[in-house]
Amino acid sequence: MRHGKILSLNRQGKFADFVPEGQADIWAILALGVDAKRKYLWATTAAMPESIDYSAASEGRSALLKYSLISGALLKRYDLPKDGKHALGDMTVSAAGDVFVSDGFGAVYWLDHRKDTLEILIGKGTFRSPQTPALSPDGGRLFVPDYTRGISVVDLATKQAKLLEHPKDVSLGGIDGLYLTGRTMIAVQNGTTPPRLIRMWLDASLTRILRWETMEANWPGLGAPTHGVVVGKKFYFIANSGWDRMADDGRVKPGATFEAPTIRVADLGH
């Protein structure tokens, strides 16, 4: 986010700049999505004070970016209109190559791979601050966590949204990352006290949470966790992201100490 760049990490533990900082009209990088079949890397960028290259003239601008997963070349960008503040953030990529992406100011967009255009899926008014969406296995429903309202299920055929039913003893606020594998849903909550990761099991219709458990919570190294990805039976996620220690101008808050983020892995085998 701070430097507006994308890093790659290989299996030998070597980091490299996949997209170096200083690119024109590339501000804070908020989320990534990989389309391994078509060899695309999708990224979202938004002009925010936390970014080094932020300027008042770019306030509210945001775009979806499509890179070559092989070369790192920028293949296309999809800029939102200059009709107010936008912050394209979290996303998910379908098996068909469609991209679903949330705007932190209330809307949810999607890119139909057949049209190759970014369009509004759910306009402002339904969500206050939509975060990482998760797609159902059949591709017919989109689970959208709202930072303050919990998780909604969007029927992609009718574009109707309904809150996901859940037990009263689980709070679904403060979700930043949401991931669905089969009937198991993982949520990264950095807006709760303490921040945590939870795992939920849904019913066969994927309309109700049957039970849940805490995966990670309440230890210093977790800090403010954020995005992750399911790979097979493992969940990789960013811990101690630093977001809780960052001021609006991107600097470390007075009195806060810098601690390096970590990438952690949780076993989903049981």
Q: What is the pLDDT of residue 270?
A: 61
Q: What is the pLDDT of residue 116?
A: 96
Evaluate whether residue 107 is within a structural domain. no
- What is the Cα–Cα distance from 31 to 1, expressed in whole angstroms? 9
Examine the fold and report which residue of 60, 88, 116 is the final residue of a domain before the chain moves on.
88
Residues 64 and 130 grouped into a single domain? no
Average pLDDT by consecutive 10-residue portion of the chain (270 residues)? 92 93 94 97 95 88 97 97 92 97 97 96 96 97 96 96 96 97 97 96 97 94 95 95 84 85 89
Q: What is the pLDDT of residue 151?
A: 98
Instruction: Report the domain count for the chain.
Output: 2
Residues 171 and 269 grouped into a single domain? yes
Kindly tell me the burial class for residue 145, based on how many C-beta atoms sit within 10 Å of its own C-beta (0-12, 13-18, 19 or more). Answer: buried
Residues 37 and 140 grouped into a single domain? no
Residues 82 and 133 grouped into a single domain? no
Q: What is the pLDDT of residue 252?
A: 85
Q: How far is CA 107 from CA 58, 116, 129, in A?
A: 20, 19, 8
Structure-block tokens of residue 141? 């429903």
| 200-215 tens-digit pLDDT | 999 999 999 999 999 9
Domain extent for 24: 1-88
DSSP for 5-60, please give it. -EEEE-TTS-EEEEE-S--TT--EEEEEEEETTTTEEEEEEE--TTSTT--GGGTT
* Domain CATH number, residue 248: 2.130.10.10
Percent of the chain scoring above 70 in pLDDT: 100
